[in-house]
Structure 1
Amino acid sequence: MTTVAQRRASTPRELTRVADRISFVYLERCTIHRDQNAITAEDADGTTHIPSATIGTLLLGPGTRITHQAIGVLAESGAAVAWVGEQGVRYYAGGRALSRSSALVEAQAMRWANRRTRLAVARAMYRLRFRDEDPSGLTRQELLGREGHRVKECYRQESVRTGVPWHGRHYVPGEFTAGDAPNQAITAAAQCMYGVAHAVVSALGCATGLGFVHSGHELSFVLDIADLYKTEIGIPVAFEVAAEGDLDVGSRTRRALRDAINKKRLLDRCVDDIKLLLVPDGPKADPEVEDRVTLQSDRDVTVPGGRNYAVEAHW
């Protein structure tokens, strides 16, 4: 019998591209195991099979138990795994990347390390969010001010559109039910968007902590990417859910957001946007499928890995 450890790992070309995956799957109060190349979720109602290679992010809520084999197949498939709190609104820990190339993370580090290019990426992010404004020449403080104004205006417009009363953004960390229905929905939507962004950022091999707008946190770049779609998807969905009632706001928001994300093909857009922000001229190779190890030599030249260079070489 073939054991899990003896199975051949899939190559990047054999895996489902991140843009073609389900955005996220949330599970709670169940036991998660492996069955061939799928994971199973078993609870009192029975067992559900989920193909691991189709998952962008698996969100593990309270009461979940997951086996070593299940984590193994998720890692092989390049699915991000995040341990989250009740209603999926607190992030505890996360999994690994799909990409085996360092192309994007090197481009990210180069653009992050230079103040001029770091600001340029921040302006490009603002331009992606608010296409009717030109942020050229704006300082960081001006970008933050403009962003704050646009988000507040988005809240006001969505309140008018849906008929949901809005009394301002109120969020108490760890107290999901402390806010009213629209605040609960906005919180739940934001956390789900963070999970989606985390999946794509990790799958592409980028550094989650090297942010261009956010800083000082291990998920700074994740927050940057999630915010790109806040006013277009997250906030409108949250107000629509709140307009339907005050019960089960968290779970209803997750379902509605999942449908909106899949309808708008957000993962596909997210992948393209990250590549555009970090490598405006386009990468030389596809970082999702490139699986190559090189060694650094002099004059910015790289040479193939897996060889012994003890004999004097000329390159």
Structure 2
Amino acid sequence: MRWSLSEFLDQITVQPEGWLMAELGEDAGLTLGNGPGAVFYAVLSGTAYLHGCDERPIRLREGDIRLVLAGEAHSLHCSEAVMSSPAQLRLSPSCDIPGKIRIGEGAGGALVLLGRLNIGWPMGAERLPLLRTLDLAAPYGDRRAANFRIQTFRVFSNGLGASSVLKHLVTMLLSLSLRSDAGFLAAFERSVPLSTPIAEAIAMIEANLSEDWNVGSLAQLVKLGRSTFAARFHDELGQSPMDFVAQRRMHFAAELLEQGRHSVREVCRLAGYKSETAFSRRFSRKFGHAPGKLRMNRIALHSSPA
């Protein structure tokens, strides 16, 4: 199975865990600890520096957008020097409108929109050497484009439904950045296609997520021994068959809940879970909030008067 670039990009999903608009004073800084997923930064005014993502601080000017793909601890400061006691920041789950916070004193700091994101990559993406950080402003780096980005994120980070709009904006910017990144494109062209049995297993999983899959049943369908199938699946995708099934079920469930047409119980069944409690527990651990909260926020958004 060989992806085209469009097919690969179409399979990328972005699910926000929380958004925050942070106003940093000139002497301020903040740190984010280790955590799953990526962290998004858009500098809407001033200048900030990312520390801990590269050998040297990464300067972010007004209009710059950066995605920290690695889940390692790092910090953001308004100066190239690390502040002695930056604020410890933990993003609270937010399904609709970004919260606001002021850190530090003095003018001349920075206004930064940041978010914690769970990014779902297509199967086999684990074999591609993705960067620790990705410059989402790189495809359109001139000053006029920077001003447009600033105004876009200022406008769309306010009001009901902001989280959903921001999610789609980030998804689009991520696709634009990957298709223009020479290193990524070279690695993508060199990527090895999946073997026929593994591709067949994945196609069956994707088409029947509600099926009660296990390693033995999948191996039998593609005519491989259980151990051989499990080892080959892990070698080609970098994860076990059941981890892959669980990942796809979670993202499928999130898509259904965002549509708002199914109850949590129905989504639980369609995603292949027999226990609503087990489903809710896994969903909350994956996305940082309960499935019912995502669904109710979506329904509230669509039922709100214009």
- Asked if these proteins are the same fold (TM beyond 0.5), I'd say no
Higher helix share: 1
Greater fraction of residues in strand: 2
